[in-house]
Structure 1
């Protein structure tokens, strides 16, 4: 998700641009902003009991010194802000892996996001921001429905951008990531890098790191960008001289489309095709082995007992057989394209990608009524 790619947009995330945006977000964290921000700040105060600060933790101060030395920051400043962060048990609970044996269920997952409130909010967002959505598609090739789907799944179009203090969340996950998690080492390294990126961003923009609130994973704003993604992919799409992913729908739309373009979104390509199985030839283990990475040509899929339907047989690129489990019921299957894979670079889950696609489709259909 955090690859250094050559982007098709010129990223205008200068110090001035980011400073203005994060200053605006800082104000929002103090209940100046959308009504939802006021409600979530109250929820945070009431429902998130925090543990001790990291000021007396030797490993925390060692990490602060490493960050300061590596990034040329004042060590006392970094130590102060990491020391001000507090352990969050709610963050640890939220990030924990599902219990072993917990079945995945696409129908249940789908029902969380494809519901009337989110669809109607998506219609209003699309109607209010039609020009920005169409302009983003013209520049990046990413259709409005995909951008609308992502912003809807991530935050219900800015209603829920997170109640956790970002410093608490990132420091907790950098230093106390649950060891029982199957990818604990990799995730610890990831969150240490995100904490570093957040501190660098805040220092460069003269923003108080303690002021911003986001998700339990430290994601920010309407599109829930991680700090490194904000730096790499966020753009000033409304040309007002600042990047604002908390309050500017145009910047959110342009930045989401820019992100997908950076991960090789291809204009005009479908995200997936329905499939039909032919049991005598079906070789599911081989087809599923590459997971969500497009690996097979349509002809290779047919040879292994799976036919992409409709225009899928004429698809020019590689495909992945995507399995969406449904608990005790039979799974659903689709053939995912490179564009399906691009969506999973936003969130590494085929269930997430299908929810984004489906929500965008439902909103598009509701727009026609």
Structure 2
């Protein structure tokens, strides 16, 4: 004789079954929610296809299928698009704050060590191109802290993002980055390197000196004479390439980078001297005629000078009279603040290296 089913038991059994089903589905839902979808690629886009056609027409040594396949594997990087944008609320320019970022304990300590470890190649570069070892060491320190911060992005991803999906909200530089993406393919083919393995900054700068691909092609040198240029691992190539870059852009042997100067009071004369920005445009006599007071060495200088203003937030700005060599450093990075940071770091490293050598 069968027992009569208990209604309470039936309801409990149904609830347990529902709970078990929910537990079985939950891991799958959690996985689906936590695994991000892959970023979009660059396959099948007409603008990318047009780029490939133009690229191979200008560089017959490149294979269109190889280039197209590489770009199909490239990925849009949202972080690159964010990093290339200016700050939402930009802070007032402050030279003292900017300077402190690059004259920190790590850069200074490692800069002296880098110089002492590579003294022979630095001396050889200085003798060949006329660029002081201190300036070469300072630029490498400012750029990557001697190879510690070269960037972790695949260069093809970063450059494709900026070439084909440059973010709105600032001046469009997509044409510049298409040129750099083109240079990346040419560089990889020339050096027989898999383009997918090259890594750099979010802007596509490469190696210890952070050369853009076009700069690598134009200015990098095989200073260790091993048959190839390696800006990731060859210290000699890095040192020689930085020196060559500055030399090609006008560095003059034994020329000071700047002189101390007291600017004229605020008004038309100061505005006239600041108008050319950092481009040397005035003789010492011209600056004096407009009320600027140069140091004794600056007064004797025969070449052109620029009145360079370095703002200090709410405090009064600092000023120097920049020479052609100051201008040349800004060809590496178009900023008077950058150039002055390189110069101050170079002076600091030189002083500390002399002390270390005496010890």
SS at 1:321's partner residue?
strand
- Contact 2:263–2:270 (8 Å) recurs in 1: no
Q: 2:341 aligns with which of 348, 355, 358?
A: 355
TM-score by length of 1: 0.83
Higher deviation after alignment, 332-341 or 171-180: 171-180
Segments of 5+ residues of structure 1 without an aligned counterpart are 1-47
Does the CA contact (< 8 Å) of 1:69 and 1:75 recur in 2? no
Match of 1:258 in 2: 244
Contact 2:56 2:63 in 1 (8 A): yes
Aligned equivalent of 2:104, options 110, 115, 122: 115
| Partner of residue 354, structure 2 | 368
Corresponding pairs, count: 319
Equivalent in 31, 40, 43 of residue 52 of structure 1: 40
Distance 1:71 1:297 in 2: 46
Going from structure 1 to structure 2, the CA distance change for 1:344 and 1:50 (only over 3 Å counts) comes to farther
Question: Does residue 146 in structure 1 map to residue 135 in structure 2?
Answer: yes
Secondary structure at 1:149 match in 2? helix
1:85-140 Cα shifts (integer Å, max 9, x gaps): 11111111111123466311111111111011110000010001111111111111
Give the alignment's TM-score, normalised by structure 2: 0.85
State which of 252, 257, 260 in structure 2 corresponds to 1:271: 257
Structure 1 residue matching 2:203: 3-state secondary structure? coil
Q: Distance in 2 between matches of 1:211 and 1:331?
A: 45
Name which of 184, 188, 198 aligns with 1:212: 198
Change (3 A) 1:55 1:358: same
Q: Is 1:94–2:72 an aligned residue pair? A: no
Mapped to 1, the partners of 2:214 and 2:245 lie a distance apart of 12
Matches of 2:76 and 2:331, distance apart in 1: 29
Q: Distance in 1 between matches of 2:309 and 2:88?
A: 20
The superposition leaves residues 200-248 of structure 1 with CA deviations (integer Å, 9 ceiling, x where unpaired) of 1112333211101101111111101111111111111122222111111
Q: CA deviation at 1:267?
A: 0.6
Q: Give a deviation string over 1:306-347, Cα, whole Å, max 9, x none.
A: 122130111121111111111222111111100000000011
3-state DSSP class of the match of 1:255?
helix
Give the distance between the partners of 1:231 and 1:355, measured in 2 at CA: 27
Higher relative contact order (CA 8 A, sep 6+): 1
Question: CA 1:280–1:249 in structure 2 vs 1: closer, same or farther (change >3 Å)?
Answer: closer
**Cα deviations by residue, 1:272-321 (Å, 9 ceiling, x for unpaired):** 11111343887121111111111111111111121221301111211111
Cα contact 1:145–1:364 (8 A) shared by 2? yes
Change (3 A) 1:363 1:280: closer
Give the deviation of 1:173 after TM superposition: 0.9
Which whole-Å CA distance do the structure 2 matches of 1:359 and 1:159 have between them?
17
Q: Please state how far the C-alpha of 1:365 moved relative to its aligned partner.
A: 1.4
- The match for 1:16 is none
Q: Is the 8 A contact 2:263 2:319 kept in 1?
A: no
Change over 3 Å in CA distance of 1:200–1:281 after alignment to 2 = closer
Distance in 2 between residues matched to 1:329 and 1:205, nearest whole Å: 50
CA distance in 1, matches of 2:291, 2:350: 33
Aligned partner of 1:292 in structure 2 is: 278
1: CA distance, partners of 2:276 / 2:98: 23
Cα root mean square deviation, aligned: 1.8
Give CA-to-partner distance per residue, 1:61-95, whole Å, 9 cap, x none. 22122212222232221111122111111111111
Alignment-derived partner of residue 22 in structure 1 = none
Contact 1:281-1:305 within 8 A present in 2 as well: no
| SS of corresponding position for 1:201 | helix
User: 1:19: which partner in 2?
Assistant: none
- Report runs of 4+ in structure 1 exceeding 4 Å deviation: none
Tell me which structure has the larger Cα radius of gyration.
2
